[in-house]
Homo-oligomer: A and B are copies of this chain.
Amino acid sequence: MNLRKGNLMSVREDVKLLDATIRDGGLCNNFMFSDEFVKELYKANVKSGIDYMEFGYKASTEMFDENEFGKWKFCKEEDLRSIVGENISDMKIAVMADVGRCDYKKDFLPKKDSVIDMVRVACYIHQIPSAIEMIEYLHELGYETSCNVMAISQASKEQIDGALELLCNSDVDVIYLVDSYGSLYPENATELTTMYVNAAEKVGKKIGFHAHNNQNLAFANTIETLSYGVSYLDATIMGIGRGAGNCATELLLGFLRNPKYNLFSVLKFIEKYMIPLKEQGIVWGFDLQYMFTGQFNMHPREAMKFTSDKRRDYCNFYESLIDNV
């Protein structure tokens, strides 16, 4: 029995492409993007048929110093509107809110007063009850919501079953499988997908996938989980994102068959804005240090430090990780 949904020529109307360039890429430069960069990205995404654009985090201004971060860590309504106006496009606007790092009761307006369409609530698996409390509140305000359960490669099957049961009984719209450590292979990513899809289909919810590229599998895992029933696909332009980065939008746009998607506007953005960003010295992408933490199913923080220290002694680093596994 082939569990794939459709084939390589199918247009699946449930598929939604979410651009997380500013949000995940912001982790590489403390969200210090120029207004021009964000505005041109918005235009490029609209032209390329992207379904959602995530602008950043809705982080607590009490916990985080606004002088240390660019405005996309906070995504204030007026900053969003300075880019998108009333957002008359078909593309929806998303922001992320981390459990325990936001003041959601203070910082979210009722949906009718906001250009934000979707709030993505990120949490670890033990924080799901807190996430659900947030989701119910935001749902009441009128937002679409997702729950992005991180570091799923370290959870047991029983934990995942429990998490899915809680989420399927909540008002959340989309449940995300998040491979935070980039440690999943297509084979186990698709097994997890099947668990998620089976649970979600019964209650009319959708599944999303957020990849990391530690083992150079971000794109592969995204299209494989897609073919097993994931609907919401996260990507960033040139895969920009913390550490090894994410699934690259341009790879995904070449794969998807829906004629509403087109690559060319994203290419123009890459040539004009992303290549210069790389040349300014902002570093992301696959490298051996991230491969190690992916292979060991570990948080990449030590690999990120190895990168920022400009170290090249891969063997020493590998040995130090083995000592900690």
Please indicate the chain B residues that have their CB under 8 angstroms from the CB of A215 in the complex: 219, 251, 254
Does A37 lie at the interface of the complex (its beta carbon under 8 Å from any beta carbon of B)? no
A255 touches B220 (CB 8 A): no
Copies in the complex: 2
Does A318 lie at the interface of the complex (its beta carbon under 8 Å from any beta carbon of B)? yes
Hey, what's the 0/1 contact readout for A180-216 against B, CB within 8 Å counting as 1? 0000011110000000000000000000000000011
Does A146 lie at the interface of the complex (its beta carbon under 8 Å from any beta carbon of B)? no
Does A304 lie at the interface of the complex (its beta carbon under 8 Å from any beta carbon of B)? no
Given A185-B8, A215-B251, A295-B254, check contact A267 B312 (CB 8 Å).
no
Indicate which residue in B220, B255, B291 contacts A254 across the interface (CB closer than 8 Å). B291
Number of A interface residues at 8 Å Cβ cutoff, please give it. 39
Please provide the chain A residues from 163 to 184 with a CB less than 8 Å away from any CB of chain B in the complex: none
**Complexed CA–CA distance, A186 and B8 (Å):** 10
B264 touches A318 (CB 8 A): yes
Please indicate the chain B residues that have their CB under 8 angstroms from the CB of A255 in the complex: 185
**Complexed CA–CA distance, A267 and B288 (Å):** 9
Given A267-B288, A271-B315, check contact A227 B8 (CB 8 Å).
no
Does A68 lie at the interface of the complex (its beta carbon under 8 Å from any beta carbon of B)? no
**Complexed CA–CA distance, A251 and B288 (Å):** 9
Could you jot down 27 A-B contacts, CB within 8 Å?
Answer: A4-B187, A8-B185, A8-B187, A8-B188, A187-B224, A187-B227, A215-B219, A216-B218, A216-B219, A216-B248, A216-B251, A217-B220, A219-B220, A220-B220, A220-B221, A224-B224, A250-B288, A251-B291, A254-B291, A263-B318, A264-B315, A264-B318, A267-B318, A270-B288, A270-B314, A271-B314, A275-B312
Please indicate the chain B residues that have their CB under 8 angstroms from the CB of A216 in the complex: 216, 218-220, 248, 251
Does A305 lie at the interface of the complex (its beta carbon under 8 Å from any beta carbon of B)? no
A8-B185, A215-B254, A250-B291 given. 16 additional CB < 8 A pairs? A4-B187, A8-B187, A8-B188, A185-B255, A186-B186, A187-B223, A187-B227, A216-B218, A217-B220, A220-B220, A254-B291, A264-B315, A264-B318, A271-B312, A271-B315, A275-B312
* Minimum CB distance partner of A239 in chain B: B216
Does A313 lie at the interface of the complex (its beta carbon under 8 Å from any beta carbon of B)? yes
* Minimum CB distance partner of A217 in chain B: B220
B313 touches A271 (CB 8 A): yes
* Minimum CB distance partner of A255 in chain B: B185
What distance in Å separates the Cβ of A54 from its nearest Cβ neighbour in chain B? Answer: 22
Which 10 A-B residue pairings sit nearest by Cβ, starting from the closest?
Answer: A220-B220, A254-B295, A267-B315, A216-B219, A271-B314, A217-B220, A271-B315, A268-B315, A186-B224, A267-B314
**Complexed CA–CA distance, A1 and B3 (Å):** 9
What distance in Å separates the Cβ of A208 from its nearest Cβ neighbour in chain B? Answer: 20
Please indicate the chain B residues that have their CB under 8 angstroms from the CB of A224 in the complex: 186-187, 220, 224
Please indicate the chain B residues that have their CB under 8 angstroms from the CB of A270 in the complex: 288, 314
**Complexed CA–CA distance, A8 and B315 (Å):** 26
* Minimum CB distance partner of A221 in chain B: B220
Please indicate the chain B residues that have their CB under 8 angstroms from the CB of A185 in the complex: 8, 223, 255
